Amino acid sequence: MQDRTTRIIMLVVAVLLAILVLQPYVNTYLTSAREPRPVAARGDLAEFERTTIQVFETVAPSVVQVVSLSGRGRTTEAEQAGSGTGFVWDAAGHVVTNEHVVENGASFVVRLASGEVLPAEVVGRAPNYDLAVLRLQRQSGLPAPLNVGSSADLKVGQAAFAIGNPFGLDQSLTSGIISALKRRLPTSGGREIADVIQTDAAINPGNSGGPLLDSAGRLIGVNTAIYSPSGTSAGIGFAIPVDVVNRVVPELIRTGRVPTPGIGILAGDETLTAQLGVTGVIVAGIVPDSPAERAGLRGVDTRAGIIGDVIVGVDDAPVRRLSDLTDRLERVGVGNTVKLAIRRNNRSETVEVTVVDVGEQGTRTRRP
């Protein structure tokens, strides 16, 4: 009797162990989806998703890839010197991009969103603004130009979208917000662009020259640089404000260049100016036969150890650094007259100076 009970118990235990061991396999067999699963209803897209999709679908066809070639000839025969992004500006086939995208190229091609590749030529460059304009060799059948917005009424925190070709990956969309306004960005021309837009929308190499857009799909800036030790997006990207673009690009189309407003001075080094505890722009030198010379401005006198005139204001606007002066001269424009507030030998004086195109005279761009 006892042996029988023991056998029953052992049998029950064996059955339980078998169930435990086989249970996962049984469950897998019973619950495996051996046929395509039914598609769940998605429902409506969120409003911000619809906005993002609409921005991309509207604007993307007008965004292009700009490729610089180091040799002339067909694309297959020339070595690629660099690439970036651009966008269609008008129905005449003009494309806007960054100057640094085209600076090392001997010839250029533009790849449309459709994949078609068209030869292009540079019709104007503005290193002081990091802007350039190309013209496609064919004007018919091109995508529509982008709608132009304004950068004067932008607000920190509003949505921003960037479309470009990061790392050669075309038609990429990133989104974020406007992180800051009125930044200043040095350019290869030795000046600074004022009122630059800062955004956290991811901007990587290859995005240069692409559009920064608002939620209405309007152009509000041209993406030009990132701040990152590694060279990849770190949430700090910069864009040239569209109000500057809308002023510079037509000039490039008309004449191929943009005037460099100045008065004919060589500005002192800003680091040295700060070390001397001086607020303003030290006049280090005077260009011969310039408006500055005719107005009687004085440069540094190394023999006497005198730092020369210090420009502290333009037309009642304060000047604390060189970019304040160049920005004001650009707003006034070539051919007009400004009143400079200067400090000379610890005295305040005011002089009138005519603004001229110092770039046309071949002077250095740091000579306002």
Q: What is the pLDDT of residues 266-301, one digit of tens each?
A: 888 878 888 888 889 999 889 899 999 999 998 888
261-357 shares the fold of 48-136: no
Q: What is the pLDDT of residue 364?
A: 35
- Topology at the third CATH level for domain 48-136: Thrombin, subunit H (2.40.10)
Query: Which among 63, 65, 71, 59 is positioned nearest to 83, based on CA atoms?
Result: 65
The fourth-level CATH superfamily of domain 159-255 is Trypsin-like serine proteases (2.40.10.10)
Report the chain's mean pLDDT, rounded to a whole number: 86
Q: What is the pLDDT of residue 79?
A: 65
DSSP 98-155: -HHHHTT-SEEEEE-TTS-EEEEEEEEEETTTTEEEEEES--TTPPPPPPB--STT--
Q: What is the pLDDT of residue 365?
A: 31
Q: What is the pLDDT of residue 368?
A: 45
Q: What is the mean pLDDT of residues 56-72?
A: 90
3-state secondary structure of 180: strand
User: 70: pLDDT confidence band, cut at 50, 70 and 90?
Assistant: confident
Beta strands in the chain (DSSP E): 63-69, 80-88, 94-97, 107-111, 117-126, 131-136, 159-164, 172-186, 192-199, 211-213, 219-226, 237-241, 261-262, 265-267, 281-286, 310-314, 317-318, 337-344, 347-354, 356-357
Residue carrying structure tokens 């509000």: 220
Q: What is the mean pLDDT of residues 332-343?
A: 91
- Examine the pLDDT at 233 and tell me if it is beyond 70: no
The fourth-level CATH superfamily of domain 261-357 is PDZ domain (2.30.42.10)
Options 83, 208, 233, 290, the catalytic residue: 208
**Least-confidence region, from 124-128, 160-164, 243-247, 328-332:** 328-332
Q: What is the pLDDT of residue 363?
A: 35
73: left (phi over 0), alpha (psi -120 to 50) or beta: left
Q: What is the pLDDT of residue 124?
A: 96
For residues 16 and 79, give the distance between their C-alpha atoms in angstroms, rounded to a whole number: 73
Helix (H) or strand (E) holding 192: strand 192-199
Q: What is the pLDDT of residue 72?
A: 54
User: 234: pLDDT confidence band, cut at 50, 70 and 90?
Assistant: low
- Examine the pLDDT at 187 and tell me if it is beyond 60: yes
- The answer to whether residue 90 is catalytic is no
Domain boundaries, given as residue ranges, for the chain: 48-136, 159-255, 261-357
Q: What is the mean pLDDT of residues 35-53?
A: 90
- Examine the pLDDT at 61 and tell me if it is beyond 60: yes
- The answer to whether residue 188 is catalytic is no
- Examine the pLDDT at 226 and tell me if it is beyond 70: no
CA within 13 Å, CB half, 150: 4
- Examine the pLDDT at 73 and tell me if it is beyond 70: no
Q: What is the mean pLDDT of residues 61-80?
A: 74
- The answer to whether residue 130 is catalytic is yes
Q: What is the pLDDT of residues 307-326, one digit of tens each?
A: 889 999 999 899 988 888 88
Options 68, 83, 100, 233, the catalytic residue: 100
Q: What is the pLDDT of residue 229?
A: 56
User: 367: pLDDT confidence band, cut at 50, 70 and 90?
Assistant: very low
More confident of the two residues 132 and 303: 132
Q: What is the pLDDT of residue 323?
A: 80
Q: For residue 222, count other CB atoms closer than 10 A to its CB.
A: 29
Options 68, 83, 130, 327, the catalytic residue: 130
User: 9: pLDDT confidence band, cut at 50, 70 and 90?
Assistant: confident
What distances in angstroms separate CA 171 from CA 114, 143, 174, 314, one per listed residue? 10, 14, 10, 44
Q: Give Cα 317 distance to the centre of its chain.
A: 28
For residues 90 and 79, give the distance between their C-alpha atoms in angstroms, rounded to a whole number: 29
* Ramachandran angles phi, psi of 5, nearest 5°: -60, -40
Q: What is the mean pLDDT of residues 299-304?
A: 80
Q: What is the mean pLDDT of residues 171-199?
A: 85
Q: What is the mean pLDDT of residues 94-98?
A: 97
C-beta contacts of 347-353 below 8 A and 24+ residues apart: 348/312, 351/295, 351/296, 351/297, 352/295, 353/263, 353/291, 353/292, 353/295, 353/297
Q: What is the pLDDT of residue 179?
A: 95
Q: What is the pLDDT of residue 24?
A: 76
- Examine the pLDDT at 21 and tell me if it is beyond 80: no
